[in-house]
Amino acid sequence: MIGFPLLLIPFAIYNIFVFLMPGVVFTAPIASVTLMSGVQWSPTFGDALLALGIVLLLFEVVKAARPGARYLTDHLLSLVVSGAAVAEFLLLVPFGTSTFFLLTVLMIVEFLAGVSIGFRNRHRHVPAAVPASVPREPAPAPVPVPANPAPAEPSFDRPHQDVKPVEPVPPQPEPETAPKPEIAPKPVPTLAVIRNAEGTVAAERKISDWSVSDLVSDHAPESPAKTPPKP
């Protein structure tokens, strides 16, 4: 939807009356109203056109104050209409009246008000940069202060009269232990030396060379040597 300035309506009506109805006089009264004071008030056609322009200016300001309801095309049309009204007031003879001058002022005010309100709404809706929230450390929980307990009364324990004091026991002498008899060392068996008939010591033999007769002869008691018979 393309918006257009509402003050374009009274501006178009004035141009229609000037170019299409040249016999219309804007100062001619259109009605006569008797006030409570008894004064006769006769509004003219120019007064009615200005009153319409003021009411439309109010609606134009309300429309511009709504966020997002004002378009760039509406501002451009308001600028074009205001420039055309100023040019007609300065250059054309039928538009050189007080009625058209006030109507031109209303159109200029409408353009300036729309632009200023539009810029204010645009800056208002721009999201501001939100600063990064710094995590705060949680406050330490208050430590409950224990109530000061009442001091306990000192208790004095009385000794029982029936209990006798413990007498010290004298140390008893340790029993003397008899000395253990010394164990005599076991006799070391000696090996028998085997001698030959000539009385010489036989050569050592290995266990594998022994026989049963050798074992029996080793353990047999030695017999006394026979003395040879005397002649």
Per-residue model confidence as pLDDT tens digits over 166-213? 666 666 666 666 666 666 666 655 555 555 555 555 555 566 666 656
pTM for the predicted model, two decimal places = 0.50
Q: What is the pLDDT, as a whole number, of residue 118?
A: 74
Q: Tell whether 113 is covered by a domain.
A: yes
Residue 52 falls within a domain, yes or no?
A: yes
Is residue 28 in some structural domain?
yes
For 16-54, what is each residue's pLDDT tens digit?
Answer: 999 988 888 888 888 888 999 989 999 998 999 999 999
**Are 44 and 31 contacting, i.e. CB atoms less than 8 angstroms apart?**
no
pLDDT (average), residues 97-101: 92
Report how many domains make up the chain: 1
81-89 contacts, C-beta under 8 A, 24 or more apart: 81/5, 81/7, 81/8, 81/11, 81/107, 82/107, 82/108, 82/110, 82/111, 84/11, 85/11, 88/15
With 0-12 / 13-18 / 19 or more C-beta atoms within 10 angstroms meaning exposed / middle / buried, residue 77 is middle
Residue 42 sits in which domain range?
Answer: 8-125
Q: Is residue 99 part of a domain?
A: yes
**Residue 75 forms part of a structural domain:** yes
pLDDT at 75 over 70: yes
Task: Quote the CA–CA distance of 199 and 229 in Å, as a whole number.
Answer: 20
Measured distance CA(125)–CA(229) in Å, rounded: 161
How high is the pLDDT of residue 147?
A: 60
pLDDT at residue 16, as a whole number: 92
